[in-house]
Amino acid sequence: MFKHDDLAKILAEQRAFWRLAAATTVSKFIEFLIDNADLSKIEFAFPARTELCFVWGKVSTLDVLSHIKKNTYFSHYTAMSAHGLTEQTPTSFYLTAERASPSVNKNDLVQESIDRAFAAAPRVTENMCTLDGKRIYLLNGAHTKMLGVIAKDLTAEDGTKVRAKVTDIERTLIDAAVRPVYSGGVFEVAKAFEQACEKVSINKLAANLAKLSFTYPFSQVIGYYLERAGYQGQQIDLLRKPMQFDFYLTHNMGETRYVKDWRLHVPHGF
């Protein structure tokens, strides 16, 4: 797996040994390898910016995506699948690229603004492209210093193992609860909390949630998911922070019911 700069470096290092003319540019070098060797170019036409990758021989889509851009990692539904937290086979890949610096949010929460925001449809990124019939979402993530990101062997579509960066179980559950639109929806998120029962550290989940410092009170959402999945006692109490506001399981739910213990609106029948 190569980026354009990788091939430029190889050309610079080997030009003399290979006795290549000074007129041999990087573009000509790449074109020669594509035409006469086993190099292939893969183009990810994201609206924000096209990402070019070059591979030698046959490489799985998962392997290519794991190197698409520096400081990116698999997240949301892709991470749920990697940790065995869903019985579905996702048809999309979700990658997160963190912003280089933290954003500053000086807005104070008021109930009216929460109600208005969650009555609307969720914002969904347009930074998506397709490859081999799969949708690939490149998400613009908050600056977290890669909190909860680990290296893990993932199984590609061709059965090969790919060492890649992916959110751990605790961060995956947090991300799924915060952005269910990227995680198969609230029913899939609820199932993920059930599947994680024997794998997750609630202490670590609560600690990482605090470090992420969300503006909205997502502890109420996560506490409800934990309770619904059958977690008990002190585990759930870690999420029972003072609740100042009524909150929402997700956006634009239509008919809802109110869960008093968590001050949370959830879909009717959920």
Beta bridge pairs of residue 164: 152
Q: What is the pLDDT of residues 41-66, one digit of tens each?
A: 999 999 989 999 999 999 998 999 99
Residues 99-128, mean pLDDT to the nearest whole number: 89
Compute the average pLDDT of residues 213-237: 94
- Strand ranges inside the chain, DSSP E: 39-45, 50-56, 72-74, 92-98, 128-131, 134-141, 149-155, 161-167, 247-248, 256-259, 264-267
Residue 15 lies in a domain: no
Task: Give the pLDDT score at 105.
Answer: 66
d(CA 172, CA 97): 15
Give the total number of structural domains in the chain. 1
- In this predicted structure, the answer to whether residue 231 has a pLDDT above a threshold of 80 is yes
User: Mapping DSSP to helix (H, G, I), strand (E, B) and coil, where does residue 233 land?
Assistant: helix
Whether 77 is covered by a domain: the verdict is yes
**Looking at the domain assignment, is residue 73 inside a domain?**
yes
- Max Cα distance, the chain (Å): 76
**Mean pLDDT for the chain overall:** 93
The boundaries of the domain holding residue 235 are 38-267
Q: Is residue 252 part of a domain?
A: yes
> Is it the case that residue 106 has pLDDT exceeding 90?
no
133: pLDDT strictly greater than 90: no
Burial state string for 119-131 with b = 16 or more CB within 10 A and e = fewer than 16: eeeeeeeebbbee
What ranges in 67-109 are assigned the alpha helix state H? 76-82
Residue 20 lies in a domain: no
Q: Say what the pTM is.
A: 0.92
Residue 9 included in any domain: no
CB burial of residue 106 (10 Å; 0-12, 13-18, 19+)? exposed
pLDDT digits (tens, 9 = 90+) for 243-257: 999 999 999 999 999
Q: What average pLDDT does this structure show over 171-198?
A: 97
